[in-house]
Amino acid sequence: MYQIGLLGLGIVGTGTAEILLNPSRRNPLLSEMKIKRVGVRSLEKPRSVQLPRDILTTDLDSIVNDPDISIIVELLGGLEPARSLILKAIRAGKHVVTANKAVIARYREEIYAAARKAGVYVLIEAAVGGGIPIIKPLKQSLGANRLQSIVGIVNGTTNYILTQMTSFGTDFETVLRKAQELGYAEADPSADVDGLDAADKISILASIGFGGHIKREDVYCEGIRQVSSADITYGDRLGFVIKLLAIARGNAGEESDRLELRVHPTLVPKEHPLANINGVNNAILVEGDPLGQVMFYGPGAGSGPTASAVVSDIMNIVAILKSSGNAASLDPLLIPNHQHYCQIIPIEELSSSFYTRFISTDLPGVIGQIGTCFGENQVSLKSVVQIGFQEADAEIVVVTHNVQEKLFRQAIEEISRLEAIKDIPCVLRVI
């Protein structure tokens, strides 16, 4: 029997325990695993999963130091004590399975250096895309490709909010409250709605796909708070839907191996493969040479789907332990061995087409003034639409051709100083 120590019995921990306790008609390897201890915050809390009372403990250190346990499954979430417990488990010679994207995105180098030294695996399939297999495919099945891009909808909460806003014209705050009632969004929704969760996830995918560590603070990140129903409606008329995209792209034309790495709400053409990914679902579109495009789609969060990914990692480790007796020589396809950090291109240097909505006084010549500011900064316009707004105000929606972000921002800075411009409520990039 392979003994497992489970840290955390929340939504994903409960789903994981349910699979491990019910191996019937699943892979036979599951019958060779046993949950030895479960670390929880409170012994009194009622639990939906039936576990012997005496295997629960609040002493998490005693689990990572238990000599009988060979695999630690960290499902606590948050940075601490999760990071310290993962490192302690590794140093005690235990393999680790974790769904903790926040820890992996920030401490990947430290954790994998410790794992290589200890000769143990740290597997993270559940950290990105919930139940969607994406980590192992990137490491193994797609390993022969030169990757060009990884573009994903990797946050279910924001995708649910944007889908509801699009389908029912509901405003952001109302949908957010509904998402909180349904348990999709946290009481403090910032990690999701400000794009931080998606930034953690794309930094992990980019590390694997492009073969280098990523400094988490290098990921450019904007959330969805600025997106209003008005932008969704204008986007729709122009042939787009709005999605929070996480984008990692290698710049093949460059001499150096620099990456684009960014998270922001994006106008996506309706015919794009990611345009119809709705609700809490996630999808990741990977493009490589010679593969072309492949898309991974499915439930990006939730107890069962995420637990499915956790248990697949546990099975992987057990399969290796069974076949090799020990893991002294680590499978290089399963554990990263790169040492360098990827260089990330500053957002100002990237080029995009931009959508911008202006609120202005409805006076003769305003569109001309906006056009002049754009023209003087070498920003070429694809379309300009003026819509009557409220009383003497007008709403002007502009879509540019591809332009370097630095030049676009210079133009916007000048336009914001025009007397007729009252507000610039929304600027979005177009993919």
The residues carrying an active-site annotation are 201
- 8 contacts ligand HSE (rule: CB under 6 A): no
Q: Which part of the chain contacts ligand HSE (CB under 6 A), choosing from 112-120, 155-163, 307-315, 345-353?
A: 155-163
Question: CA of 53: how far to CAs of 20, 61, 315, in Å?
Answer: 17, 18, 25
- 157 contacts ligand HSE (rule: CB under 6 A): yes
**Strand (E) positions, 362-420?**
381-388, 393-400, 403-404
- 100 contacts ligand HSE (rule: CB under 6 A): no
Q: Is 407 exposed, middle or buried (0-12, 13-18, 19+ CB in 10 A)?
A: middle
- 244 contacts ligand HSE (rule: CB under 6 A): no
**Nearer residue to ligand HSE within complex by CB, 70 or 306:** 306
**Nearer residue to ligand HSE within complex by CB, 313 or 395:** 313
**Nearer residue to ligand HSE within complex by CB, 207 or 400:** 207
Question: CA of 191: how far to CAs of 63, 126, 223, 333, in Å?
Answer: 29, 17, 9, 31
**Nearer residue to ligand HSE within complex by CB, 156 or 223:** 156
- 336 contacts ligand HSE (rule: CB under 6 A): no
**Nearer residue to ligand HSE within complex by CB, 192 or 218:** 192
- 305 contacts ligand HSE (rule: CB under 6 A): no
- 98 contacts ligand HSE (rule: CB under 6 A): no
CA gap 401, 391 in Å, rounded: 31
Selected from 66, 192, 218, 313, the binder of ligand HSE by CB under 6 A is 192
- 300 contacts ligand HSE (rule: CB under 6 A): yes
- 14 contacts ligand HSE (rule: CB under 6 A): no
Q: Which part of the chain contacts ligand HSE (CB under 6 A), choosing from 153-161, 212-220, 241-249, 355-363?
A: 153-161
- 308 contacts ligand HSE (rule: CB under 6 A): no
For residue 412, give the nearest of 358, 367, 364, 360 by alpha carbon. Answer: 358
Q: Is 180 helix (H, G, I), strand (E, B) or coil?
A: helix
No. of H helices and E strands in the chain?
A: 13, 18
- 155 contacts ligand HSE (rule: CB under 6 A): yes
For residue 360, give the nearest of 331, 391, 381, 319 by alpha carbon. Answer: 391
Size of the site for ligand HSE (CB under 6 A): 7
**Residue 200 beta carbon to ligand HSE: minimum distance, rounded to whole angstroms:** 8
CA gap 100, 76 in Å, rounded: 8
Selected from 8, 39, 156, 235, the binder of ligand HSE by CB under 6 A is 156
- 125 contacts ligand HSE (rule: CB under 6 A): no
**Nearer residue to ligand HSE within complex by CB, 12 or 415:** 12
Please give the helix or strand (H or E) that residue 212 lies within, else none.
none
CA gap 311, 307 in Å, rounded: 6
Residue 65 CB contacts under 8 Å (≥ 6 apart), including other chains: 88, 92
- 163 contacts ligand HSE (rule: CB under 6 A): no
Please give the helix or strand (H or E) that residue 16 lies within, else none.
helix 11-21
- 13 contacts ligand HSE (rule: CB under 6 A): no
The two three-digit tokens of residue 418, written as one number: 């025009």
Residues within the interface to ligand HSE (CB under 6 A):
155-157, 192, 197, 300-301
